[in-house]
Structure 1
Amino acid sequence: MNLFDISIPHMSRTVGQVPVWLDKAQAHADQRKFDVNVLLTARLAPDQWHFTRQIQAVVFGPLRLANVLRGQAPPDLLELEPTVAAVRACVAETREKLDRLRSEDFAGAEARVIPLPFLPGKGLQAPDFVQQFALPNFYFHAVTAYSILRHNGVDVGKSDFLAPLAIRDL
């Protein structure tokens, strides 16, 4: 299994759940008669990013990882307008980009050293970068975004985070 196989498909699966969260947020706002976009600026703590910024990290994470593992410059982080329509469009565009990636595009990625932008002059071997930074950071932001909705009364549950499971008969 290469670095693509242990990261990008799993991250894409979680990115694909964001529209489910947004559907439930919209239903909650409709039921309570408030503008759903209010939830997009909600945060769990004053020093944490708001929902929209958390989603920016969720969609940027796998795109950045895919680029650096292939020896390309990371994509620019775009500011995301705090509207459901903008979030949905960004998520859909990200999924399309991730769906075009193939395992063979990542041949040789294990040998790369990935620079750490927050520690100039330092980096991690690509396997360590994926396992110690990229995946934990991605799931931190995904869980935080999900938790912001949950904290604000949106009826999201564990299955909304996990996505459908590939269950088989024993």
Structure 2
Amino acid sequence: MINHCTQSLKNLEACLDKAEQHAAARKFDIGVLLIARLAPDMQPLIYQVQSTCDYVKGAAACLSGQTPPVHEDNEQTLDNLNVRIRKNVAFADSVPQARHAGASERRVPFSWAPGKVIVGVDNLLQMTVPNTYFHLSIAYAILRQNGVDVGRMDFRGRVNFVAA
């Protein structure tokens, strides 16, 4: 499941590349897209990318018994966001499969719920996957709303077909 989330981060990076091409072709500053929002009370694209990354790295760390690496939320450019995506993918990919032994029952605490924990499988299914795809979908929608030519295949990425 974490591998699927990291693939989604790679797909997001490809969508951001399309956003850069879109801005260049139309001769406007890509920064306009980075601060774009779907609604006034929603967070901008930069935040959506940061949050997507945070949920993936958090799950990779917590489910392997590690502390997630800390990344300051100080990205201001497309290059900064791409670096953050690559750092998080690299971290998640660096966790050896053996570290995930017992992950489904590992107890995961949250700073915002003192004295309470959630078991690994519930963390993955109730927190990581829904929040990853929420922020990923919002990022995608911001790009679409602003005319970037991304579609379902960009969001979903490649499909691993096997012979019938």
Q: TM-score, normalised to structure 1's length?
A: 0.89
Distance 1:18 1:91 in 2: 8
* 1:66 and 2:66 aligned: no
Distance 1:107 1:167 in 2: 28
On the 8 A contact 1:41/1:82 being kept in 2, the answer is no
Partner residue in 2 for 1:147: 141
Letter in 2 for 1:166: N
Q: Which runs of 5+ in 2 are unaligned?
A: none
Partner residue in 1 for 2:132: 138
Distance 1:161 1:49 in 2: 20
* 1:105 and 2:99 aligned: yes
Alpha-carbon spacing, 1:115–1:35, altered in 2? closer, same or farther (3 Å)? same
Distance 1:168 1:16 in 2: 22
Q: How many residues align?
A: 164
Identity percentage of aligned residues: 37
* 1:43 and 2:37 aligned: yes
**C-alpha RMSD over aligned residues:** 1.5
Q: TM-score, normalised to structure 2's length?
A: 0.92
Once structures 1 and 2 are overlaid, which stretch shifts more, 13-22 or 65-74? 65-74
On the 8 A contact 1:80/1:87 being kept in 2, the answer is no
On the 8 A contact 1:42/1:51 being kept in 2, the answer is yes
| 3-state DSSP of counterpart to 2:65 | coil
Letter in 2 for 1:131: L
On the 8 A contact 1:26/1:36 being kept in 2, the answer is yes
Query: How much does 1:88 deviate?
Result: 1.2
| 3-state DSSP of counterpart to 1:114 | strand
* 1:129 and 2:147 aligned: no
Q: Which runs of 5+ in 1 are unaligned?
A: 1-6
